[in-house]
Structure formats: C-alpha cells, structure tokens
C-alpha cells in the first residue's frame, strides 16, 4: 500500500504526525494509500517556507509569471490522459467526466496566462483640483485553498492558478479522500518553472484546516464543499481577519413547461442528474414539470433512459455513464435518504439500493434512482443527496413551480425572476 506525502518546497515530504487517513478505490472498496494528516506545527513550518518564497515570487514581473503559467498549461495538456486517469481512479468518475474535470481547470490556467493585462492598475488625472488617482494591484502574500473530493483537478486549479499568477504563494489542502491529483499537479507546476515553496500541498483533516484558518501569515482562504463547513470556515477565517471565499452546497431545480421539448429536457436531466454519480453541487436533482400531463409525459421519457444507464468502473470504457460514489459512508447516507423517501410517501419509480456489479461487490455503487410525487416536506427534497437520485415535484402552474424552490437554495425574486444554471453535460460545471 502506498504512503503519500506532502509537497513542500518543490519536493515530496513525508508526514511526521504519525496520523493517517485511508484513501480508497471507490470501485473496489480497497485501501490504496495512506494519507498523512498534518499537525499544527507542520502547517506553521510549511506556511513559513511559503512566506519566504512568496517575497521573491511577488518581485517577478507578471510577464515572467505568465510564462510559467504557459508552460504549466502546456504540461497539463501533454499529461491530459494521465491526469484524467488519476482523477477517475481516485474519484470513480468516468474518463470523459475526468477529462472534463481537467479541461475546465486548464481553462482557468489559460486565463491566468493573461496576467500581465489582468493585473494592470488604473490612473485618473485631475480627479479633483490638484488631485490624481492611482490604483495598483499587489499580491496579498500567502493564501490557502481547501478543496473537495468531487473535482480533484478543476477546483484546485481554480484556486492555485489565479493566486499564483498574481504573485501569491498558495497552500493547497486537497480532500484527503482524493489527494493524488493535487500532488501530481504540484509536480507539473515545479516542472513548469515555479520556484520552490510558491505552491505547497499539505494533506490533513479538520486539525490542519483549523491551523490554516488560525495562522496569522495566511491572508485569504478559498473553500468549496458542504454548506455547514463553508459557514464554519467563513466564520473562523473572518474572525481572524482573513479574506474568505466559500462555496457551499446546492439543490438545483429544472422547471419544465408544457411546451418544452421533452426529449431534450429528459436528456438534460439524465446528464445533469446522474453524471459524476450526482456528486457535484451543480447537479440538477429536482425536476419540476408544470401540469399533470407534462409530469406524466416527462416521467415516461425518463424511465427508459434511467433504466438504460450503464453503471460501472471507469475501466469498463468510455460508454460508462457513471461510476461509484466516493466512500462507503456516502453510499450509506444516499441509501438512507432513499429509504426516507419511501417512508415519507414518494413514489419510487426506479430503485438503486440493491445495485451490485459482478467482481465489484465491495465497491460503492448506487444504481440510478428516480422518485415521483415528491413534496417539499420530504427529506429527499430538503437534503442535498449528492448521489444518483433524481426527484420529480409536480406543480399545477409556473408560479407554483417557482415557489417550490427553497429559500436557502435560490436567492431569487419569486416568481418573476428565476436564476438559471447551465450544465455542461461533459461532466464539468460552468
């Protein structure tokens, strides 16, 4: 079994805490690596090294920083197949999904290649009598990114590329469930010419996160994950005077009008609801057809498509629709919510609880599940399931459909305005 490391000052460094988390292959349930969990002392030492590296990196002009980004982008493109395979292996998503994950991250890197123009300040002469105004863009210093398991490439690249292009040093704490991709990206960044210490990858759990939030040197924190943890990180970071950008969970709805093309609507729901096993915050897990006839027709369109979905490990080929969920605990939670839907009166149209795959009986697979007649008081409606479960809420008219969207998930003026999220069906979010 492989023992992973931290990535510090351009090299792999073993953890010293003696504490580890297990990383699994979600398709088999096997432990494939031990992930070191950093102590506060390790975090502080890593941040101190990053602070030294950042001072020199901030003095490098934007054109030269952009060259590093260009080389890094080229290396990601050269290693696209390798990175996609790492993502698939540790997350369980299909190879096309994984390629979308890496590609979306690469696009952020490509934007950061324009650092010289993006970092320009502003100047206004004679803003007042004898007064000129000038603004300058300067690096903050050392910043931290705390990223989730479901997009092991895209979200770390969201965090590290802009921060580093702007002259900061980045401490990246990837999910301990999916750390391999981040470590490989760090190697490629070093190969691209990034000075040692500008990007540090540290593995850890809540103890490591708290250390990052409490460290005085760290000036800003970016987080993507569940809503309760987003609230916790935002509160603690703000209390310590740090800038914080925290993205939590979501419960996304698709309203289907009577004149909609139901073939296209059902195709979109299949891709958005079941892609990546439903493990993405932009998954559309709630269909809201307007009118009984629309609901009946939509369900009839969905059923054969759901039953035809191919659920398998990514190694089964590019025609796999989705793979396992990330952990045994995730599978157990999803099945518990399906059970609650049955108990609370929803109509179970397809049941994925007993899904089993020959040769992968210990994998964390959940079959495609579809509920009809769901009401807003049910747990499967209120909770972000984060699994391959699609629910249908029936409404009589458009206004009722808009009002079915919970306040905590949609900051809209009802029913006049509805915020629309577009889902890229290749497996990534935009």
Kindly name the residue from 112, 166, 246, 281 that is annotated as catalytic. 281
Q: Which residues contact 176 (CB under 8 A, 6 or more apart)?
A: 21, 23, 35, 37, 203, 204, 205
DSSP per-residue codes, 264-317: HHHHHHHHHHHGGGG-STT-EEEEEEBSHHHHHHHHHHHHHHHHT--B--GGG-
Identify the H or E element spanning 244: strand 243-247
Q: For residue 186, which of 314, 340, 72, 262 has the smallest C-alpha distance? A: 72
CB atoms within 10 A of CB 273: 25
Q: Which residues contact 309 (CB under 8 A, 6 or more apart)?
A: 270, 274, 321, 322, 368
Encoding tokens for residue 219? 């000036």
Q: Rg of the Cα trace of the chain?
A: 23
CA distance from start to end of the chain: 36
* Separation of alpha carbons 59 and 188, rounded Å: 22
Q: Is 281 a catalytic residue?
A: yes
Encoding tokens for residue 213? 């939030």
Residues catalogued as catalytic: 281
């Amino acid at each position: 079994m492989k023992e992973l490391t931290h990535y510090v000052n351009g090299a792999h460094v073993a953890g010293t805490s003696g504490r580890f988390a297990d990383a699994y292959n979600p398709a088999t349930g096997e432990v494939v690596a031990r992930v070191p969990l950093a102590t506060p002392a390790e975090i502080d030492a890593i941040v101190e090294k990053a602070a030294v590296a950042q001072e020199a990196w901030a003095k490098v002009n934007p054109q030269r920083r952009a060259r590093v980004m260009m080389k890094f982008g080229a290396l990601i493109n050269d290693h696209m197949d390798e990175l996609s395979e790492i993502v698939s292996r540790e997350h369980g998503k299909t190879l096309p999904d994984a390629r979308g994950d890496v590609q979306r991250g690469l696009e952020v890197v490509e934007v950061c290649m324009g650092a010289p123009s993006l970092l320009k300040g502003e100047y206004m002469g004679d803003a007042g009598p004898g007064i000129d105004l000038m603004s300058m863009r300067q690096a903050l210093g050392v910043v931290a990114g705390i990223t989730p398991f479901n997009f092991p490439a895209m979200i770390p690249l969201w965090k590290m590329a802009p921060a580093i292009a702007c002259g900061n040093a980045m401490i990246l704490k990837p999910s301990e469930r999916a750390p391999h991709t981040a470590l490989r990206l760090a190697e490629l960044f070093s190969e691209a010419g990034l000075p040692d210490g500008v990007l540090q990858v540290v593995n850890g759990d809540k103890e490591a996160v708290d250390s990052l939030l409490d460290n005085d040197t760290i000036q800003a924190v970016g987080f993507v994950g569940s809503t309760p943890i987003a609230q916790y990180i935002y509160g603690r970071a703000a209390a310590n005077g740090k800038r914080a950008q925290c993205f939590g969970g979501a419960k996304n709805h698709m309203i289907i009008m009577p004149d909609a093309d139901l073939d296209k609507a059902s195709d979109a729901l299949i891709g958005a609801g079941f892609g990546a096993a439903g493990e993405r915050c932009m998954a559309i897990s709630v269909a809201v057809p307007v009118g009984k006839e629309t609901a009946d027709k939509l369900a009839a369109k969905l059923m054969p498509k759901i039953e035809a979905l191919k659920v398998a490990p990514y190694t089964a080929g590019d025609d796999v629709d989705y793979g396992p969920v990330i952990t045994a605990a995730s599978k157990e939670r999803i099945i518990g919510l399906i059970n609650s839907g049955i108990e609370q009166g929803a109509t179970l149209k397809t049941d994925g609880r007993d899904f089993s795959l020959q040769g992968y009986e210990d994998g964390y697979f959940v079959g495609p599940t579809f509920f009809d007649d769901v009401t807003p008081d049910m747990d499967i409606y209120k909770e972000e399931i984060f699994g391959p479960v699609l629910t249908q809420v029936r409404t009589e008219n458009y206004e009722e459909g808009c009002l079915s969207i919970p306040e905590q998930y949609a900051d809209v003026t009802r029913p006049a305005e509805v915020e629309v999220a577009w889902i890229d069906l290749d497996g990534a979010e935009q």
